[in-house]
């Protein structure tokens, strides 16, 4: 088994708010992230796929295809967007880094042809990141 990781960057804004919470609760739980006007990050996405090396091509996965799927499914939808208002998953879910990683997994897993998705890692900042392995 060989693991291959492809990186991408996207920039987006978001805020944290749960409509079931009172305004005070929202401020207490989410702090500055509760500002309804949003704030932004430069996210780094790392997608790791795994598989056996194809004896003919020497590839685990066709990188062009992986890059294209990442662009179409993730970057086109999230880059330079206000996540809460423009990305369907986040109309009903708070766009935390955890939920962004899960949403990206969901978007990619169904579209990858040869390789199996191993891990989605999303850096919100260089000192904060989330890994999702598709575990329930």
Partner 1 sequence: MNHEAKKIYPVYPCVPCGKDFDFMGSFQMKAHLSRRYLFSASHRLHSDAMSDEENHSTYGKCNNPYGHGHNYTVEVTVSGQVDRQTGMVCNLADLDAFIETQVLARFGHENLNTLREFAQEVPTTENLCIQIYEIVQRGFHFAHLERVRLEETMMNSFEYAGREA
Interacting span for partner 1 (CB under 8 A) from 41-49, 50-58, 67-75, 89-97: 89-97
Dist. CA 122–CA 9, nearest whole Å: 10
SS3 category, 67: helix
Instruction: Provide the minimum distance between the beta carbon of 98 and partner 1 in the complex, in angstroms, as a whole number.
Output: 4
Cβ atoms < 10 Å from Cβ of 78: 24
Q: Figure out which of the listed residues 3, 5, 29, 53 binds partner 1, where binding follows CB under 8 A.
A: 29
Helix, coil or strand: residue 73: helix
Which of 33, 46, 86, 89 is catalytic? The answer is 33
Nearest to 109 by CA among 36, 47, 20, 54: 47
Residue 65 or residue 106: which is nearer to partner 1 going by CB? Answer: 106
In the complex, the residues that contact partner 1 under the rule CB under 8 A are 16, 18-21, 29-31, 88-89, 91-99, 101-102, 105-107, 109-110, 117, 126-136
Residues tagged active-site: 33, 80, 124
């Amino acid at each position: 088994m060989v693991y291959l990781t492809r990186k991408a960057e996207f920039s987006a804004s978001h805020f944290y708010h749960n409509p079931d919470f009172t305004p005070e609760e929202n401020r207490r739980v989410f702090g500055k992230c509760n500002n309804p006007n949003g704030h932004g990050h430069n996210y780094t996405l790392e997608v790791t796929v795994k598989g056996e090396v194809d004896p003919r091509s020497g590839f685990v996965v066709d990188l062009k295809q992986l890059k294209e799927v990442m662009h179409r499914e993730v970057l086109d939808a999230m880059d330079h967007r206000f996540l809460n208002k423009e990305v369907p998953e986040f109309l009903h879910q708070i766009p935390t880094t955890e939920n962004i990683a899960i949403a990206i997994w969901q978007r990619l897993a169904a579209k990858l042809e040869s390789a199996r998705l191993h891990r989605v890692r999303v850096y919100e900042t260089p000192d904060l990141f989330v890994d999702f392995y598709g575990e329930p």
